[in-house]
A and B are shown apart, each in its own frame.
Chain A
Amino acid sequence: MAAETKLFGKLKTAEQEHEDPKEQLMFDPRPREELNRMVMEMMTTTTKKFWLWAIGLGVGVVVLLFGAWGYMISTGMWVTGLRRPIFWGVFIVTFVFWIGISHAGTFVSAILRVFKAEFRRPFTRAAELMTTFGLAAGALYPLIHLGRVWVFYFMIPYPNARWLWVNFRSPLVWDLLAITTYLLSSTIYLYLPLVPDLAMARDRTTGIRHSAYKILALGWRGTEAEWFRLRKAIQIFAFAIIPVMFSVHTIVAWDFAVSQVAGWHSTIFGPYFIIGAILSGVSAVVTILYILRSTLKHMDYFLRPEHFDALGKLILVFSMAWAYFFFNDYLLGWYGGEAAVRQILTLHATGPAAWVWYLMLICNMAVPWLTLWNRKIRRTPWLMFIITLTINVGMFAERYTIVPLTLGHQRTPFDWGVYTPQPVEISIVLGTFCLFTFLYLITSRLIPMVPVWEVQEGQVAHTLRKIGKAEVPTVTELD
């Protein structure tokens, strides 16, 4: 009896502490018709500001990315800041950055789906879209950074007139295979749960949009067999895409770790990069969600403080995990006593570009640790926007530290060098940011940004159950 009173007492305080369940999306159900209408309006409403942004970003892609890239192809790589011994610069940094961003979608969508984290429902698509476009932006860099991009197909394994296959021992070939696999599978993984929503859009549009959705929806009706097949496929994908995601960033890490470069040759680089990727990816999801919430019509119904709260907790955990891996890499490198490694670690902290290293530590550790423990901060979207943006600046600084700052100080001091990104490189980097944003912006008006059926499924599955005197949220497993 005493135990029961205690239990009920606890529940009551919990209720006082926590918000009214009605404030949660899953306990604030609306009829499907209403949800559909909101999503369709979200998709079809464009303001003047939207078009200005779209045109501006489109021009940015053409000028900053393709213009600068074309210029660099025609003149040669001397327009970059690369010099001996720093042969990889900000292109590779941004490549790793975008591949990291692309881990968001899979993490949110696949891992949270596998573990049935219900808060994922309204923003899985937004995150998957980040994966696809992050990869699209990132996959450009292995091409951009090539000295002779016009013969990039030498890297692709196919029977050819040169009688030469590629070197399957090279991490760059692994990269090619892994990124291709990930890009294709994440695009499919974006598309599969989209089919029922495309069918919904098909039923509500006319003209060219209708024809396009009709083709893309593959004649979806919603029969039992179709649902069963779709869920089976999503299940296969959710489980299979997780190891692919891990392999992609591991291989990106191996690009560095298999080498003999001091400071790169580290056995912990694989998991270290994965954690960093998830940290920056999940942070970027929050950044994007904030922008979606404040620009898309009705999005504030679907995205609520609870989602920022949940993602904020994840970010805090991953920030700590990142610190753990970072310290592992740092301490053991330092303790090992190899002169070159120690020299590099010292120069990271005291060299001319030490501010990058401190920026990394502040943005990746100090900022999230000092803020994200607080529930109020986690539930304030604009604060989360700033914090997550800061984390991604920190992650960019981390990759910058790893690539050019480590390459510049190798074993022979005679060959040391300093790297400064040049205008063409900065322009191309900004250009891919424009490309990502442009693709995202346009797509947000072309496909339903919220997986309506998943939200409705969740709302059907969530009920308030009365235990004693309290109404407790419960989830029913529908499948």
Chain B
Amino acid sequence: MYTKVVHMALFKEEELDHAAESITRLRLLGVQDKDISVISGIPFSEKILDRPMSWTNVGRIGIAGAVLGFIASLLFNFGTPFLYPLRVADMPIFFPIPTSIVVTFELTMLGLLISTFIGVFVETISPSFGPNGYHPKVSDGHIAVLFSGPILLDQQFHTTFEELGATLEHDVEEEKLWL
């Protein structure tokens, strides 16, 4: 076993092509995609960077929330009248159609939107498995390629990134960005 060190290569914002190229070269050096992570100040799609697709469960969590909201609305509309039946005008007590449709819609949407946010929140604060590390220059538009590779390849990494005009930094992992 060899120790892995996290490296960070910082590219200037106009050097996006170099950043994409560096990922190809890292792959040639034997660094796997799961050991690479790109952080940037604006979103670049995976295709631009030639990276495997990210995944997220936000959509699924959102739909689950919508279902919960829908069920809650059914309980409100069709359940609560049984607890304490009260008649208003000549509206049906136990089968409140069409008035219940409004409540159903609102609560379904509420469930969808709130749980989408909860999904984002939970996924954001849960641990990520790629190489960690951060540099404030990223929010200045720099593109940082984070990767961890065997210490033996250190020299090769340095030459690769010098060719592409990036600065290579080490030991960027310790920073704690949230709580």
Contacts and interface: CB of A to CB of B under 8 A. Distances in A.
| A–B direct touch in complex (beta carbons closer than 8 A) | yes
Interface string B50-93: 01001110110010000000000000110011011010100100
A165 interface: yes
A192 B51 contact: no
B75 to A, nearest CB: 10
Interface in B94-130: 96, 99-100, 102-103, 105-107, 109-110, 112-114, 116-117, 119-121, 123-125, 128, 130
Contact of B48 (A36, A244, A478): A478
Nearest to B36: A224
A168 B80 contact: yes
Contacts of A196: 41, 139
Interface string A163-193: 1110111000110011011001100100110
B113 A244 contact: yes
Given A215-B179, A229-B56, A456-B141, A478 B45 contact: yes
Give the contact-size bracket for chain B. Answer: 35 or more
B15 to A, nearest CB: 13
Contact of A233 (B80, B84, B116, B139): B116
A220 B128 CA distance: 12
Interface string A71-98: 0000000000000000000000000000
Interface string A117-135: 0000000000000000000
Q: Which of B44, B102, B105 has the most CB of A within 10 A?
A: B102
Contacts of A165: 76, 80-81, 83-84
A32 interface: yes
B42 A251 contact: no
B46 A218 contact: no
A273 B9 CA distance: 54
A460 B110 CA distance: 35
Nearest to B16: A460
Given A218-B121, A233-B120, A227 B140 contact: no
Contacts of B112: 236, 240
A233 B119 contact: yes
A247 interface: yes
B49 interface: yes
A225 B46 CA distance: 10
A163 B113 contact: no
A221 B135 CA distance: 8
A222 B40 contact: yes
B41 A456 contact: yes
Nearest to B81: A165
B116 A236 contact: yes
User: For the complex, would chain A's binding face be called helix, strand, loop or mixed by DSSP majority?
Assistant: helix
B85 to A, nearest CB: 11
**Which of A200, A218, A229: most chain B CB closer than 10 A?**
A229
Interface residues of A, number: 61
A223 B38 contact: yes
Interface in B119-157: 119-121, 123-125, 128, 130, 134, 136, 138-141
A194 B37 CA distance: 22
B39 interface: yes
A36 B140 contact: yes
Nearest to B123: A229
A33 B128 CA distance: 28
Contact of A243 (B54, B58, B100, B109): B109
B178 interface: yes
A457 B99 contact: no
Nearest to A461: B42
Interface string A203-214: 110000000001
Nearest to B83: A165
- Max count, chain A CB within 10 A of own CB: residue among B41, B76, B81: B41
Nearest to A165: B80
Residue of A36, A165, A251 with most chain B CB atoms under a 10 A cut-off: A165
B128 A225 contact: yes
B177 interface: yes
Interface string A270-298: 00000000000000000000000000000
Interface in B12-57: 13, 37-46, 48-49, 51, 54-56
Contacts of A188: 113-114, 116-117
Contacts of A453: 41-43
A232 B124 contact: no
B40 A229 contact: no
Contact of B177 (A178, A184, A217, A241): A217
A224 B46 contact: yes
Given A231-B43, A478-B44, A36 B139 contact: yes
Contact of A32 (B96, B100, B141, B177): B141
Pick the most buried of A163, A199, A214, A251: most chain B CB atoms within 10 A of its CB: A199
B42 A457 contact: yes
A184 B114 contact: yes
Among A185, A202, A222, A232, chain B packs the most CB atoms within 10 A around the CB of A222
B31 to A, nearest CB: 16
B113 A222 contact: no
Given A204-B139, A243-B109, 13 more contacts: A31-B141, A168-B76, A169-B96, A177-B102, A185-B109, A188-B114, A218-B124, A222-B41, A227-B44, A228-B46, A229-B58, A244-B113, A453-B43
27 contacts: A32-B13, A32-B139, A165-B80, A168-B103, A177-B102, A200-B139, A203-B136, A204-B136, A214-B177, A215-B178, A217-B178, A219-B125, A221-B134, A221-B138, A222-B40, A222-B41, A223-B130, A224-B54, A225-B130, A227-B40, A227-B44, A230-B43, A241-B113, A247-B105, A453-B42, A460-B42, A479-B43
Interface of A: 31-33, 36, 157, 163-165, 167-169, 173-174, 177-178, 180-181, 184-185, 188, 191-192, 196, 199-200, 202-204, 214-215, 217-233, 236-237, 240-241, 243-244, 247, 251, 453, 456-457, 460, 478-479
Nearest 3 interchain pairs by C-beta: A32-B141, A219-B178, A203-B136
